[in-house]
Chains A and B, each alone.
Chain A
Amino acid sequence: MIRFDHVTKVYDAPDKPALNDVDLEVDRGDFAFLVGASGSGKSTFIRLVLREERATRGAVHVAGTNVDALASWKVPRLRRNIGVVFQDFRLLPQKTVFANVAFAMQVIGKSRAMIRETVPQVLATVGLDGKANRLPHELSGGEQQRVAIARAVVNRPAILLADEPTGNLDPETSRGIMEILETINQNGTTVVMATHDDEIVNRMRKRVIELDHGRVIRDERGGEYHAVGDRLVLPSAGQAIAPFDSEEDEL
């Protein structure tokens, strides 16, 4: 589903590539954790899949397409097949839960009837029945993240990318989120989740890909991960994959 073919990504410093000769494949229906300290290249990995960036060397294939060679007008079509969830939720504050999820369908031209049918279903899947008319600020962090997940999967993408989805949540709430991600994965969606949270990784017993300074140092199924005491220097919200910054944007 996602194949990295000896991918190297260099931003500014040629001697410090963000990803260094990464060669791996995530199969259809896989659930993979992407672990590693901040700066290890997890976000770059996700940005390359989304074609926010292009590989400096090597090729990134998503669902059989070489995304580096994709014409820019075809990129939206690629992204419709990928759902993304972030640490900072990125909901639209003036829109209700329903409208936030519906937004993802509206902007790709889905009919009103289809939106009315699909959105409540998806909200039920993430456990938000009855909260469709709430505004994001009326919800807890865990609930906001559920809205974000609903938005990411409402168009039934083949791939779900999650960048530190539990980074702002307490362990109890995080477990709830992980259950949802697992359900989504069981329904056939390939899930790639970047995280620091060793507790989650160790409990789930899924594939673990560990990055260190842009290199894959470990890739094992049912693996474990022990973060090396860097939890205090976690990247702040929005540092990861940021097509826009996450501060309040009212002028």
Chain B
Amino acid sequence: MKLSFMLSEIASGLRRNLSMVVSVILVTFVSLTFVGSAALLQAQVGKMKGYWYDKVQVAIYLCSPSPETTHCTAGTDGNYLAATEEQTKGIEAVLNSAELKPYIESWEYESVQDAYKNFQEQYGNRSMAESVKPEQLPASFRVKLVDPEKYDVINERFSSLPGVDTVLDQRQYLNTVFGVINTASLVAVIIAVVMLVCAVLLVATTIRLSAFTRRRETGIMRLVGASKSVIQTPFVLEGVLAAAIGAVLASGVLWAVLQFVVQDRLAQQNLSMAFIDPSEMLWVGPGLLLLGILLAWGSSLLTLRRYLKV
């Protein structure tokens, strides 16, 4: 069949069913926007993980007289005892041991004085900073891991050593943030699935209606010996075209959000955080287009098998 003839058939089909076609476009648009949002949220989580995991460390806090200490032995006066020189050396030895070599990228010691200095730098302008004395702050080892996920190895090895108060994985602060984002993308996925079911059913209904309004043409096509593909292709393309338009709209909206909301506002206001940029749409956009086309194609073929006798 000639392309121009096929195109004019599709155009006439779209015209006859205009309101249905518009609703297919809108439903695919909304559903694919949710699918795309979920993908972008996941990309954002990935980006933040990469950014923060480079910076986060495992902190091994040593015993100190601070009242927040939990796992240290108390002295005769009721105060906790600070870690001794000897204990500190012991921990250092373990950090340098061959056993932990594969896990540790680097480590540094933060003495009580360093801790005090950092604390003052961070909170110096607040009144509480004045009441904190150096000896209340714990000294610590800051350990950077080769693989941040291997925190448990460090925790197991160090938490029971004498002089160690707690082993803290700074990732746990981030995990709360990631948890929120993951929940958001899960919600987006659920809404997307519901909307996609709507889109598939709507495509099926539209194709059915279209096949009904054009049953004269298809009847004549059958009688003069048009092949199955010639009869069906205009219908399939009609659904696919509507879904593709919806996907393009969804990609456009997501791109606009990335460009004008994330890039121009969020990223400007939170310079210390990493954000995804509009270039993510280079893979999300084609993905949405492909998904929309596949769904419309599958759903219209199934419908035609039932409602268009060939």
Contacts and interface: CB of A to CB of B under 8 A. Distances in A.
Contact of A90 (B5, B212, B216, B227): B216
Contacts of A92: 216-217, 220
22 contacts: A73-B227, A73-B228, A76-B227, A77-B225, A78-B225, A79-B225, A90-B219, A90-B220, A92-B217, A92-B220, A103-B224, A104-B220, A106-B1, A107-B1, A107-B224, A108-B227, A111-B2, A155-B224, A243-B219, A244-B218, A249-B216, A251-B213
Nearest to A110: B2
Contacts of B212: 249, 251
A90 B230 CA distance: 20
Identify which of B2, B217, B218, B223 gathers the most chain A CB atoms within 10 Å of its CB. B223
Identify which of B1, B216, B225, B231 gathers the most chain A CB atoms within 10 Å of its CB. B225
B304 interface: no
B198 to A, nearest CB: 22
Interface of B: 1-2, 5, 209, 212-213, 215-228, 230-231, 309-310
Given A151-B224, A243-B309, 14 more contacts: A73-B227, A73-B228, A76-B222, A76-B226, A76-B228, A81-B225, A106-B5, A107-B1, A107-B224, A107-B226, A108-B230, A109-B1, A111-B2, A245-B215
Interface string A28-68: 00000000000000000000001000000000000000000
Contacts of B5: 106-107
A234 to B, nearest CB: 22
Contacts of A78: 225
B216 A251 contact: no
Nearest to B209: A251
A240 interface: no
Contacts of B224: 79-80, 83, 103-104, 107-108, 151, 155
Interface in A71-89: 72-73, 76-84
B207 to A, nearest CB: 14
Identify which of A80, A244, A249 gathers the most chain B CB atoms within 10 Å of its CB. A244
Interface in A220-251: 243-245, 249-251
B94 to A, nearest CB: 75
Contacts of B220: 90, 92, 103-104, 151
Given A109-B2, A109-B230, A112-B2, A249 B223 contact: no
Contacts of B215: 244-245, 249
A73 B229 CA distance: 10
Q: Is the interface of B mostly helix, strand, loop or mixed?
A: helix
A82 B224 CA distance: 8
Contacts of B222: 76, 79, 243
A249 B216 CA distance: 8
Contacts of A245: 215
Nearest to B221: A107
A48 to B, nearest CB: 15
Contacts of A251: 209, 212-213
A60 to B, nearest CB: 17
Contacts of B219: 90, 243-244
A159 to B, nearest CB: 12
A92 B218 CA distance: 11
B225 A108 contact: yes
B139 to A, nearest CB: 81
B213 A50 contact: no
A50 B231 CA distance: 18
A244 B2 CA distance: 25
A92 B219 CA distance: 11
B135 to A, nearest CB: 86
Contacts of B209: 251
B248 to A, nearest CB: 29
A249 B212 CA distance: 8
Closest 4 CB pairs of A and B: A80-B225, A244-B219, A79-B225, A107-B226
Contacts of A72: 310
A136 to B, nearest CB: 11
Contact of A76 (B213, B216, B225, B309): B225
Given A107-B1, A109-B1, A109-B2, A50 B217 contact: no
A92 B225 CA distance: 17
A218 B6 CA distance: 48
A251 B215 CA distance: 12
Nearest to B16: A251
B228 A244 contact: no
Contacts of B217: 92, 103
Nearest to B8: A106
